[in-house]
């Protein structure tokens, strides 16, 4: 792809010199070439060439995308706000080392191009990009590390189902208990040691927490009280997907006289703080032995762990707050028991990438995101 000067073009009866962006050095890309011809009617040759070079970088990045590794989609009409900001920060600033002054010139060019494309019917929807450029000194590579780590750890509900279905079934009681243990991580943000804490998941407390409607269908309307290290208490919202499996296993635990949900089949309580971790690894091992995973999938599952389920809860909690109109910083911070609001910023940022959500200027403070990522809250 290159920028080619074209002489003696007739537009509306006027002869002008202009530029074209050529694909494969032969065929012009219609939309930016039309834009450059339009700008040539009122601007100097040097200005139009500058517009052309800016758009050349942009359309090269569009054309180089292979569907997985590029910053942008393949059609300029489909570029999202997050993708545009990634283009400015990761591609222009980091890869090409452009200064803020040069990036601002690119922004001006892109604004003009997108306004032209909409005004002249080359796209159906008007774009309103935020064009956020970092003014701090945070390295983009560091932020990419945050994104990569969270993407590795994030598990969808289908991933969780795959994990639950992989637990060994030779002992039905243990299988159901360990399925609930994993679900407590994903749907109620339990840490592995909190599963066996003597004040958590007591049978009598769960009986009071779970209510049945006239059809006998269980629900949990109140927040669940969870004791952490040092008996620090937090109250969490339990996702509805957990309620039925929790209720079914609660009935099994009651039948054997158990006082605590995490128990053996003789009713005695579990005391191993790493039980959740062991259950997770057991499921992953069983999943790998099935021989149904690709090499890449098997390696991905090896790198995941029980604590990642809690991070999935945090990410999904941000989505829930957006949907229900709750203040995500207040509620997610409280549910997770974070001591620093910056930790919640990590999940707000990742959720936006995951769901292609546009963040406003005050929601994308890179320093807060990195601070949260490096905090004790994030790793525990």
What's 241-266 look like in SS3? HHHHHHHHHHHHHHHCCCCECCECCC
Say yes or no to pLDDT of 216 above 60: yes
Question: Residue 71 — pLDDT band, cuts 50, 70, 90?
Answer: very low
Q: Write the pLDDT tens digit of every residue in 223-271.
A: 999 999 888 999 999 999 999 999 999 999 999 999 999 999 999 999 9
Question: Which three-class secondary structure state does DSSP give residue 327?
Answer: coil
d(CA 372, CA 146): 10
Question: Residue 68 — pLDDT band, cuts 50, 70, 90?
Answer: very low
Say yes or no to pLDDT of 147 above 80: no
Nearest alpha-carbon partner for 62 in 49, 77, 76: 76
Query: What pLDDT does 136 receive?
Result: 47
Query: What pLDDT does 128 receive?
Result: 85
On average, the pLDDT of the chain sits at 86
Rg of the chain over Cα atoms, rounded to whole angstroms, equals 27
Question: Which three-class secondary structure state does DSSP give residue 4?
Answer: strand
Residues above pLDDT 70, as percent of the chain? 87
Rounded mean pLDDT, 349-373 = 71
C-beta neighbour count of 243 within 10 angstroms: 19
d(CA 45, CA 22): 18
pTM strictly above 0.85: no
d(CA 362, CA 15): 48
Query: What pLDDT does 84 receive?
Result: 87
Domains within the chain, CATH numbers bracketed: 2-133 (no CATH), 157-303 (1.10.443.10), 307-379 (no CATH)
Query: What pLDDT does 198 receive?
Result: 95
Query: What pLDDT does 197 receive?
Result: 96
Q: Which residues pair with 14 in a beta bridge?
A: 11
């Amino acid at each position: 792809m290159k920028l080619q000067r074209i002489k003696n073009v007739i537009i509306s009866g006027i002869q002008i010199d202009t530029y074209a962006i050529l694909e494969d050095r032969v065929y012009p890309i219609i939309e930016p070439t039309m834009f450059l011809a339009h700008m040539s009617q009122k601007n100097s040759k040097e200005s139009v060439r500058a517009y052309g070079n800016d758009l050349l970088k942009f359309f090269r990045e569009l054309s180089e995308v292979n569907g997985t590794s590029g910053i942008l989609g393949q059609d300029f009409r489909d570029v999202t706000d997050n993708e545009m900001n990634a283009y400015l920060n990761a591609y222009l600033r980091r890869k090409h080392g452009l200064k803020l002054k040069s990036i601002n010139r690119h922004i001006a060019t892109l604004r003009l191009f997108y306004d032209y494309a909409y005004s002249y019917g080359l796209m159906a929807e008007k774009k309103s990009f935020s064009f956020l450029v970092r003014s701090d000194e945070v390295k983009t590579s560091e932020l990419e590390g945050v994104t990569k780590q969270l993407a590795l750890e994030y598990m969808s509900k289908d991933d969780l189902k795959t994990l639950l279905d992989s637990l060994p079934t030779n002992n039905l009681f243990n299988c159901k208990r360990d399925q609930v243990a994993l679900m407590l991580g994903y749907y109620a943000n339990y840490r592995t040691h909190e599963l066996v804490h003597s004040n958590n998941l007591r049978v009598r407390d769960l009986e009071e927490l779970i209510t049945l409607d006239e059809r006998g269908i269980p629900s949990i309307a109140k927040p669940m009280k969870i004791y952490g290290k040092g008996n620090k208490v937090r109250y969490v919202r339990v996702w509805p997907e957990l309620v039925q499996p929790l209720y079914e296993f609660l009935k099994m635990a009651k039948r054997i006289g158990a006082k605590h949900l995490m128990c053996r089949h003789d009713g005695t309580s579990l005391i191993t703080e790493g039980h959740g971790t062991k259950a997770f690894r057991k499921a992953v091992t069983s999943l790998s032995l099935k021989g149904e995973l690709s090499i890449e999938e098997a390696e991905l599952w090896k790198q995941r762990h029980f604590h990642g389920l809690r991070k999935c809860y945090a990410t999904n909690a941000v989505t829930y707050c957006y949907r229900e109109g709750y203040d995500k910083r207040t509620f997610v911070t409280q549910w997770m028991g974070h001591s620093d609001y910056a930790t919640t910023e990590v999940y707000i940022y990742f959720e936006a990438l995951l769901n292609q959500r546009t963040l406003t200027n005050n929601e994308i403070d890179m320093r807060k995101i990195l601070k949260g990522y490096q905090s004790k809250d994030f790793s525990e």
